[in-house]
C-alpha cells in the first residue's frame, strides 16, 4: 500500500470511529452543535456506511488488478473533491475546524488526482 493510501486509510478510520463512537462530539466539533438524538443516530449511520466503503476500498487497493486499483484512485479523488466542494459551499455552518479540514480535503484531492494522472 502506498504512503498516500496509508494516510487515506488512517484518516478514514479516524472519521469513521468519530462518527460511530462519539457522534455528538463530532457534530459539536464541526458544526458547533451536538444535535439531538435523531441527528446523532444519522451521524452514526454515516459512520456505518463510511466504514463499509472504507473496508471495500481496502480490499480493492490490496487485492485487485491494476485497472481496478487505478479506478479506485479516481473514485477516491472524486470523493475527496466532493467533500471539498461541500465544505466550501456550506462553510457558514462550520466551526473553525472548517479551515484545517477543508485544507486537508484540498491536499488529499490534489494528491489523488496526481496519482490518478501518473
Name the residue range of residue 66's domain: 3-117
pLDDT exceeds 90 at position 62: no
pLDDT beyond 80 at 1: no
Is residue 22 predicted with pLDDT exceeding 90? yes
Q: Let me know how many helices (H) and strands (E) the chain has, helices first.
A: 5, 0
CA distance 45 to 107: 27
Tell me the pLDDT band of 25, cut-offs 50, 70 and 90. Answer: very high
What pLDDT is attached to residue 63?
84
Quote the CA–CA distance of 104 and 118 in Å, as a whole number: 21
Q: DSSP label at 118?
A: -
Percent of the chain with pLDDT over 70: 100
> How many domains, in total, are found in the chain?
1
CA 114 to chain centre: 18
Q: What is the CATH number of the domain that holds 62?
A: 1.20.1440
44 vs 29: CA distance, rounded Å? 15
Phi, psi (5° rounding) for residue 39? -60, -45
Over the stretch 79-106, which tens digit does the pLDDT of each residue have?
A: 999 999 988 998 888 888 888 989 999 9
Amino acid at each position: 500500500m502506498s504512503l498516500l493510501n496509508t494516510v487515506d486509510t488512517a484518516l478514514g478510520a479516524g472519521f469513521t470511529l468519530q462518527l460511530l463512537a462519539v457522534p455528538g462530539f463530532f457534530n459539536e466539533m464541526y458544526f458547533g452543535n451536538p444535535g439531538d438524538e435523531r441527528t446523532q443516530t444519522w451521524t452514526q449511520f454515516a459512520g456505518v456506511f463510511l466504514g463499509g466503503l472504507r473496508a471495500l476500498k481496502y480490499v480493492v487497493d490490496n487485492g485487485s488488478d491494476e485497472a481496478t486499483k487505478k479506478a479506485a484512485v479516481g473514485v477516491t479523488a472524486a470523493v475527496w473533491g466532493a467533500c471539498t466542494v461541500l465544505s466550501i459551499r456550506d462553510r457558514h455552518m462550520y466551526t473553525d475546524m472548517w479551515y484545517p479540514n477543508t485544507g486537508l480535503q484540498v491536499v488529499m484531492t490534489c494528491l489523488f488526482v496526481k496519482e490518478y494522472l501518473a
